[in-house]
Amino acid sequence: MKTKLLITLICYLFTLHFIIAQNTPLQIIMIGAHPDDCDIKGGGTAALFAEMGHHVKFISVTNGDAGHMEQGGGMLAKRRVAETQEVAKRLGITYEVLDNHDGELLATLPIRLEIIRKIREWKADVVISHRTNDYHPDHRYTAILVQDAAYLVGVPNIAADTPPLSKNPVFLYFQDNFQKPYPFQADIAIDITSVMDRKIYALDAHESQFYEWLPWIGRYADQVPEDKEARIEWLKEKRLSAVNPNSLQVLEKWYGKEKASNVQNVELFEICEYGTKPTDQDIRRFFPMISR
């Protein structure tokens, strides 16, 4: 009798723990080098998380104070911070910009400790950032800083003023197109078709970037429309996250062939070798929009 009662109690506690875990909001943190990187690479996925009641934070490791052809310094940094806060409203997330100069980032110990603290403070389940092979030094050093933090977020004597995480997060990479020394390998594909317009609306908040700086440095400033609505349509064409044969294969793994065939827009992520090694079951738990 006692044994039966004990087994029943254990089963009840296990079920209760499972239900609580299933209903606890996930803590997602995306770390980019500049105040638009996370938005470009993960804005759709962030919108889906927020829509489902989970908590998402974007961090820009630099303040973006060099990303313009006419403005610069403190004035530009202030403008770009304001743009991130508008993005936060449009996506339903939290956005923080660290005070490091754009174009001058290095993988220093003080910034590494700051990244460790930010990941701990957010109690992150999933951390997403750049890969280290990238054209921009700020992207590369952000990647190094996050990778250097991956193990240390659980070490109590590092950044001892902030409690360590009890479990190492899953670390992922944003998609990129660089091929050397090795190309991006998509492990996770997220269907963002339903929130693509919201992602574009979020990118639209970065007026200094998508309608001024990037067209200027890319030599296509003459293509930017004057009309507000026309700009959004133009931006959607420029930033379309379309499905290709490679992404379709990964989509089919997670969504099945029938659902995957209807996906129009996708965001891709690669599993980092650092941090917790997720199983397919873990991926479905950390990306619950896959199973909707």
Residue 15 pLDDT level (bands cut at 50, 70, 90): very low
Residues 177 and 129 sit within 8 Å (Cβ to Cβ): no
Whose tokens are 């943190």? That residue is 29
**Structural domain count, the chain:** 1
Tell me, yes or no, whether 205 lies in a domain.
Answer: no
Q: Is residue 1 part of a domain?
A: no
Residue 154's CATH number:
3.40.50.10320
**What proportion of the chain, given as a percentage, has pLDDT over 90?**
90
pTM for the structure as a whole:
0.91
Q: Is residue 132 part of a domain?
A: yes
In a domain, residue 215? The reply is no
Q: How many CB atoms lie within 10 A of CB 25?
A: 12
Task: For residue 256, tell me if it sits in a domain.
Answer: no
CA 76, distance to chain mean position in Å, is 23
Q: Residue 18 pLDDT > 50, yes or no?
A: no
Identify the pLDDT of residue 2. 55
Asked if residue 97 belongs to a domain, the reply is: yes
Question: Residue 91 domain-assigned?
Answer: yes
- What average pLDDT does the segment 148-176 reach? 97
In degrees to the nearest 10, what's the CA dihedral of 222, 224, 228, 233? 140
Does a structural domain hold residue 238? no
- Alpha helices (H) in the chain, listed in sequence order: 2-23, 37-51, 73-91, 109-122, 137-152, 196-204, 207-208, 214-217, 228-238, 245-255, 257-260, 280-286
Residue 21 CA to residue 19 CA, distance in Å, equals 5
**Mean pLDDT score of the chain, rounded to an integer?**
93
pLDDT surpassing 50 at residue 265: yes
Confidence at 5, pLDDT banded by 50, 70, 90: low
Give burial (CB, 10 Å; 0-12/13-18/19+) of 188: buried
CA distance 175 to 88: 22
pLDDT, greater one: 12 or 245: 245
For residue range 47-70, what is the model confidence (pLDDT) as tens digits? 999 999 999 999 999 999 999 999
62 in Cβ contact with 102 (< 8 Å): yes
CA-based nearest residue to 173, from 133, 210, 137, 138? 133
pLDDT tens figures, 86-125:
999 999 999 999 999 999 999 999 999 999 999 999 999 9
pLDDT at 14: 43
Helix (H) or strand (E) holding 266: strand 266-275
**Domain span at 146:** 26-189+269-291
Return d(Cα 140, Cα 133) in angstroms, integer: 6
Distances (CA, A) of 94 to 84, 139, 168: 9, 21, 22
